[in-house]
Structure 1
Amino acid sequence: MDEPVDLLTIENVTKSFNGRVVLKNVSAKISTGKTLGLIGKSAAGKSVLIHMIRGSEGYGPDSGRLIYHVNRCPKCGNMDLPFPGVKCSKCGAESKKEDIDYWGLKEYDPVRQELKGRIAIMIQRTFALFGDKSVIENILEVLDPNDPKRVDKAVSVLEFVNMTHRATHIARDLSGGEKQRVVMARQLAKEPLFFLADEPTGTLDPHTSALIHKRLVEYVREHKICMILASHWPEAVEEMSDYAVWLDAGNVVMEGDPKEVTEKFMADYHFEKEAGKEAGKPLIMLEDARKHYFSVSRGVVKAVDGVTLEIKEREVFAMVGLSGAGKTTTSRMIAGMTPVTSGKVMIRIGEDWVNMSEEGFSGKGRATPYIGFLHQEYSLYPFDTVLQNLSTSIGMKMPAELAKMKAIQVLLSVGFPKNDIEKTLYSYPDSLSVGECQRIAFAQVLIKEPKIIILDEPTGTMDPITKVIIAKSVLKARDDLDETFIVVSHDMDFILNCCDRAAFMANGKVLDVGTPEKIISEFNKLE
């Protein structure tokens, strides 16, 4: 069992959607204990290939094949790794090697269903958890209720993703990065043969990302499964992959050594921050703001614990910290979505200061029309076109031609090519990549031209080139429209390129406020 054997063969797969070729003659082989890294810009075809390997409905190849190599037990149907002479791990009977053409089987073929059950997937920016259940209950949901080692297995995968300290916490109360780790734990608890990871650490801080990268590689090698990783992050592909493929518009541009491929991919990544307008008067003030929750199982949870901050007009202000530091809760308090337990959150409208914990039109209702919020768990209206998502579906009432003109302007500002704008306007979200949908969600916020814009992990699923475009659009909106931005992010490059000041948060408190360079330097000292 020491010598690697082939687990998956991808043979010249081609796929089109509505006449648009998204994969063209893509081939690769992945062996036991190995990871294939996919890198490329948004809409390169990475996620489509991931869904094709997963067996997702509607993602079958137009031509080419996917061949899965497994040992299959003729007695109980269980599938194992295709090592010769190894007995079934479930019943101990003799297993036989089979080469399964997944998309060549009928939809309800039991072999196809059994194989799909051994393929785990993490989809980018999808936090599919039972919100009202605890973290450990979410893990137990995917395990066999008759397994006597069920709890031990649940604890083991939570240790693996560094989440045992949140085991009894309710899932809905977790930060986005914490939810992402629980989703990963749920998938690993299934003991897959094939692990598909689409931006698995896109919303995690660098320290947690490095830990998860290391542990995933260890898991793949120890359990001798294969992993297919799709990422915009060159560091992730370089650290985790044994072999890399660079996709662009469905074509293989380059393949081979991960370091060589990622260096070539990053050759066009360049950004120089220019001085913008000076900040104005104070616009947002937090005075000893606290948000405490009470849980029967955990007692008092101090999500935000005495934050004092001042943010000025035209600032691009960042919040930096590990997952669960209180960044998102603080931003929601500023937006009036989460009322403070004690202290104050005040926003200046004209010359008046509005208390964001006061309900009604005379309270926070005076400020909320001037605040835009891009949620980490954003969503678009799936049955509306992009144009409708940018106009009527968000309540904007204006003549059709004006709405279209404004939609075109914001789509250009968030990086959509001019020659694709008309086609994009009349596309539906499910025909676009996750990165493209994220930019449309950002455009939804920009089109309303709010005075304050809060961006929660705005670049987690964006490629480096698109991040440069988004950074420029933020700075242009700040300079042209006098907008103020609050950026909650783990993307240190984006913060350096885009932000004027930053706050360093930990355990619900602000430890320091200063330049992005200073705060990131302090953050990087964390062990």
Structure 2
Amino acid sequence: MDVCLQNVGKIWPDGTPVLDSVDLSIASGEGVVLLGANGCGKSTLLRCMLGLESISRGEIRMGEVSLTRARGGELRRLRSRIGSVFQQFNLVNNLSVFQNVLFGRLGNDGLLRSLNLTCSATTRDRAMHCLERVGLAHLAQRRTDHLSGGQQQRVAIARMLMQDARLVFADEPVASLDPRAGREVMDLLFEIVHEHRLTVVCVLHQLELASEYADRLVGLKNGRVVLDGKPSGISPEALAELYVGEDLADDTDAMGGVYAYQ
């Protein structure tokens, strides 16, 4: 699924501008990492693309659908194709790993058909396949709050796989993990993205990881896109400039965990 932003602007209720005339086109299957200092607008931009924040002007399109104008069933169908990977995991801690993965079908099947005791054998088989893909099939019946942080993020990725999303948004997906677990999660996430030819838009602070995993880097400063290109074509000096003299208009925290739109 491709994404197109045209003249997107966002102003907070107190009149503070946070996004200013953002134009951005992301091709289907492309992996884009958003970079910039705290307050540059990158998390707000991601929230706007997810539909969690309204925009003040412009348009956001995903595939053939305008997120800005979609309503009702059209909006629900669009959201069912969008997965999210965030810093926190948004798992139901007192339920099993298996049940949490089944919840990836909530947006398509509804709550009743997403429960372990009422879902079809086909759905249960698919959930186990997703857990096998992230290396956690042997922990299917364990409560998620008994897992490590890296394991919980893998459960959340399995839930996104269960959703069968075509577009994935990620906000600081490894910020709460130690470096080794973080790299393992990034390896897994981008392996799955490439296997399924998904489009991914990711916010990262770690420049080394951004340059290693992204097909394309997009840098924001004061709510505007000031850098856009392949990692190999962007100098360290240009990246460093993103973090010089930045305003703090966007004080948005990282958004949560791997979450399938429901």
Q: TM-score, normalised by structure 2?
A: 0.80
Q: Is 1:207 matched with 2:169?
A: no
Aligned residue number for residue 37 of structure 2: 41
Query: 128, 135, 140: which is aligned to 2:90?
Result: 128
Give structure 1 stretches of 5+ with no counterpart.
1-5, 70-98, 270-416, 425-430, 438-527
Q: Is 1:160–1:215's contact at 8 Å kept on the other side of the alignment?
A: no
Q: Does 1:154 align with 2:127?
A: yes
- C-alpha displacement at 1:147, in angstroms? 4.1
Q: Could you give the per-residue CA deviations for residues 389-427 of structure 1, whole angstroms, max 9, x where no partner exists?
A: xxxxxxxxxxxxxxxxxxxxxxxxxxxx9x97xxx9xxx
In 2, Cα distance between equivalents of 1:161 and 1:206? 18
1:80-229 matches, within 5 Å, as 99-106=64-71, 109-124=72-87, 126-143=88-105, 144=109, 145=113, 146-229=119-202
Higher relative contact order (CA 8 A, sep 6+): 2
Write the letter of the residue equivalent to 2:3: L
Query: Letter of the aligned partner of 1:200 in structure 2?
Result: P
TM superposition shift of 1:226: 0.7
Is the contact made by 1:34 and 1:220 (CA closer than 8 Å) also made in structure 2? no
Corresponding position: 1:434 with 2:235: no
**Distance in 2 between residues matched to 1:165 and 1:46, nearest whole Å:** 37
Report the RMSD for the aligned CA atoms in angstroms.
Answer: 2.7
Compared CA separation, residues 214 and 262, structure 1 to 2 (3 A): farther
Corresponding residue to 1:251 among 221, 224, 235? 224
Match of 2:209 among 204, 217, 236: 236
Counterpart CA distance in 1 for 2:129 and 2:232 is: 32
Per-residue deviation, 1:433: 1.7
State the shift of 1:259 in Å: 4.1
1:393-472 matches, within 5 Å, as 432-434=251-253
Q: How many residues align?
A: 240
1:127 touches 1:180 (CA, 8 Å); kept in 2? yes
Q: Which residue of 2 aligns with 1:27?
A: 23
Q: Does 1:15 align with 2:10?
A: yes
**CA displacement at 1:30 relative to structure 2:** 1.7
Could you tell me which amino acid in structure 1 is paired with residue 220 of structure 2?
Answer: L
Q: Distance in 2 between matches of 1:235 and 1:165?
A: 33
AA partner of residue 47 (structure 2): H
The 1:194/1:252 distance shift into structure 2, 3 A limit, reads same
- After superposition, give the CA deviation of every residue in 1:33-65 in whole Å (9 maximum; x if it has no partner): 211110112222111111111111xx1221111
For the 8 Å contact 1:245–1:261, the answer to whether it is kept is no
1:49 aligned partner, one-letter code: L
TM-score by length of 1: 0.42
Q: Give the aligned residue type for 2:18.
A: V
Distance 2:155 2:19 in 1: 31
Please state how far the C-alpha of 1:114 moved relative to its aligned partner.
Answer: 1.1
SS in structure 2 at match of 1:189: helix
Which secondary structure state, in structure 2, belongs to the residue aligned with residue 130 of structure 1?
A: coil
Moved more, 203-212 or 188-197: 203-212
1:60–1:261 CA distance, 2 compared to 1 (3 A): farther
CA distance in 2, matches of 1:24, 1:206: 34
Structure 1 residue 265: deviation in Å?
A: 5.5
1:128-165 CA-to-partner distances (Å, cap 9, x unmatched) read: 11111111121123335444332332223223333334
Is contact 2:91–2:156 with CA below 8 Å preserved after alignment? yes
Letter of the structure 2 residue corresponding to residue 237 of structure 1:
A
Between the aligned partners of 1:19 and 1:132, the Cα distance in structure 2 is: 42
User: How much has 1:200 moved relative to structure 2?
Assistant: 1.4
> What one-letter code is carried by the residue in structure 2 that aligns with 1:217?
F
Secondary structure at 2:68's aligned position in 1?
Answer: helix
Distance in 1 (CA, whole Å) between partners of 2:233 and 2:98 is 41
Q: Give the counterpart of 1:68 among 59, 62, 71.
A: 62
Q: In terms of Rg, which structure is larger?
A: 1
Q: Contact conserved, 1:237 with 1:262, CA < 8 A, in 2?
A: no
Q: Return the offset for 1:175.
A: 2.8
Which residue is equivalent to 1:393?
Answer: none
More strand per residue: 1 or 2? 1
